[in-house]
């Protein structure tokens, strides 16, 4: 009871402070700190009734962000981008460090088959349904082949960062956890490559999105990840001291290098983590070093991710977005069931894993932005995707947590 009074009092005070503080540069650090504190406290309260903390951080991000109460301007959100990238790199690093192909319960080829079959079924089913809707039910938007191709593809996109966040928060361990995490990463890679192929075929700006260029960037990112992982290994093997400071500096500098050289920091750090965990004995040490402050990293990342969710877009396309969200869930369930059966996995993988792929974030929004800048239907497409991603990102962590609980992988 006493604890609840404290919590509510703090939330009220934080909200009032945000409301009363002027929207100036001088007040920005104070506003940000206050909003983070409020998100954190609300996250703790709602986690007791089963809502993942990251969902709460997102919701508070939306509420305080430029599209709702406007406690933060669009410029302020854009200023946070570097911190956001560093947080994403850290999450990716931890994600990679959690993947262990050497253990008996996870085989690389099984994961690969599971991801690819799931993707092929998911993409084909969505494409077929959208085509039928356009052809036979005369849905205006779905008569454009490029529109439905991109939509079907983006609906398959997932968010590895969200997956890691839920796994870390719940402390889950087991087959479902390993499958969802590894598949999310592989699907992410597959979708990036497919998107570049589609864009080079359908888009007028082929040069910017050539398949070779995207593939080269992804391969280079993976190679850079191995180099980074090796550098961390050398340090840990021969120097050992002050690991925390070393990792912190390394993450900042590699994030910056990735940004300047147009590499994917997600891929770089996931590969670095996988390298450390599968080829050296230091993967778990990296995860442990970051673990103590991982919650603050999640808080910053998901809070700022919430701030970019366009509430107006979500409201303007709410009906259609809800339809697509439901359709996506059904398709995910079917594709996971079939691919799970194909690799002869049990109930956990066949019937529960789909809930781990519902969350969507950065990659989907990034694709929507590219399409908006190239195609005539781009603006509507972007609004629709932002609305869909908004709903999925709020719902995804809740369902993933539920599936992990159902599978008995949460302590």
Partner 1 sequence: MNEFVISIFFLLIVFIGAAVFSAKTKKPSFLSFVLNLEIEYIIIGVLIYLINAHYFKTSIQSTTMTFISVALCFMGMLIGTQFKYKVLLKVPGAFWKYIFATYVFSFLSIFIIFYLLNYDAPYLYAIILNTGMPYSLTLFGRLFRVGHSRLFNSMLVLSIYPAIALIHYSVYFFIQSSDSPEQFLSLFWLVIFTVGVISYESQQTRKIINTISMIFLFILAGLSVYFDVSPISMGFISGVIAANSPFGDIFSNIYQSFERFFYLFIYMVLGFFLMSQPYFGIKPLITAVSIYFALLFIRHFAFSNLFTRLHGKNKEIQSIMSIGVLPGFLLFDNFFTGLSLIPMEIITVYLVLYLLTEITNYRILVNETKHL
Binding residues for partner 1 (CB under 8 A): 2-3, 6-7, 10, 13, 21, 25-34, 36-37, 40-41, 44, 79, 82, 235, 238-242, 244-246, 248-250, 252-253, 256, 260, 292-293, 295-296, 299
Least separation in angstroms between residue 116's CB and partner 1 is 38
Q: Closer to partner 1 at the Cβ: 88 or 368?
A: 88
Least separation in angstroms between residue 11's CB and partner 1 is 11
Least separation in angstroms between residue 197's CB and partner 1 is 33
Report the alpha-carbon distance of residue 323 to residue 65 in Å, rounded.
26
All residues at 6 or more sequence positions from 85 whose CB lies less than 8 Å from its CB, including other chains: 255, 259, 265
Q: Closer to partner 1 at the Cβ: 44 or 346?
A: 44
Q: Closer to partner 1 at the Cβ: 131 or 256?
A: 256
Least separation in angstroms between residue 257's CB and partner 1 is 9
Among the listed residues 179, 184, 181, 262, the one whose alpha carbon sits nearest the alpha carbon of residue 216: 262
Report the alpha-carbon distance of residue 100 to residue 116 in Å, rounded.
20
Q: Closer to partner 1 at the Cβ: 227 or 380?
A: 227
Q: Is 50 exposed, middle or buried (0-12, 13-18, 19+ CB in 10 A)?
A: exposed
For the four alpha carbons of 8, 13, 19 and 24, in that order, the dihedral sign comes to negative
Least separation in angstroms between residue 35's CB and partner 1 is 10
Angle among Cα 395, 183, 203 to the nearest 5 degrees reads 80
Q: Closer to partner 1 at the Cβ: 32 or 325?
A: 32
All residues at 6 or more sequence positions from 35 whose CB lies less than 8 Å from its CB, including other chains: 14, 18, 60, 64, 71, 72, 303
Least separation in angstroms between residue 37's CB and partner 1 is 5
Q: Closer to partner 1 at the Cβ: 193 or 239?
A: 239
């Amino acid at each position: 009871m006493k604890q609840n009074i404290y919590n509510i009092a703090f939330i009220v005070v934080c909200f009032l402070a945000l409301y009363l503080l002027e929207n100036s540069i001088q007040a920005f650090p104070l506003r940000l700190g206050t909003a983070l504190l409020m998100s954190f406290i609300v996250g703790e309260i709602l986690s007791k009734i089963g809502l993942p903390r990251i969902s709460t951080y997102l919701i508070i991000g939306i509420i305080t962000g430029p599209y709702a109460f406007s406690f933060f301007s669009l410029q302020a959100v854009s200023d946070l981008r570097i911190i956001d990238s560093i947080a994403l790199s850290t999450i990716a690093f931890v994600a990679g460090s959690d993947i262990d192909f050497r253990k008996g319960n996870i085989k690389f080829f099984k994961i690969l088959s599971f991801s690819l079959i799931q993707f092929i079924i998911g993409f084909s089913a969505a494409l077929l349904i959208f085509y039928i809707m356009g052809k036979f039910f005369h849905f205006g938007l779905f008569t454009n082949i490029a529109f439905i191709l991109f939509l079907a593809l983006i609906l398959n996109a997932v968010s590895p960062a969200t997956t890691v966040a839920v796994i870390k928060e719940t402390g889950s361990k087991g087959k479902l956890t390993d499958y969802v995490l590894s598949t999310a990463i592989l699907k992410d890679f597959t979708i990036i490559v497919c998107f570049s192929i589609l864009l080079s075929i359908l888009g007028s700006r082929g040069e910017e999105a050539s398949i070779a260029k995207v593939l080269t960037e992804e391969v280079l990112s993976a190679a850079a990840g191995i180099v980074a992982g090796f550098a961390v290994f050398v340090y840990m093997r021969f120097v050992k001291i002050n690991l925390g400071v070393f990792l912190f500096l390394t993450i900042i500098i590699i994030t910056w290098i990735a940004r300047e050289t147009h590499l994917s920091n997600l891929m770089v750090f996931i590969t670095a983590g996988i390298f450390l965990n599968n080829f050296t004995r230091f993967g778990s040490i990296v995860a442990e070093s970051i673990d103590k402050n991982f919650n603050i990293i999640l808080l910053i990342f998901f809070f700022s991710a919430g701030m970019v969710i366009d509430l107006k877009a979500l409201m303007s396309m709410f009906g259609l977005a809800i339809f697509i969200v439901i359709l996506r869930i059904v398709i995910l369930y079917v594709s996971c069931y079939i691919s799970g059966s194909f690799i002869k996995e049990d109930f956990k993988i066949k019937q529960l894993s789909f809930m781990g792929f519902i969350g969507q974030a950065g990659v989907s929004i990034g694709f929507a932005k590219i399409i908006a800048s190239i195609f005539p239907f781009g603006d509507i497409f972007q609004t629709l995707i932002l609305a869909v991603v908004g709903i999925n990102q709020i719902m995804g962590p809740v369902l993933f947590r539920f599936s992990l609980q159902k599978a008995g992988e949460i302590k």
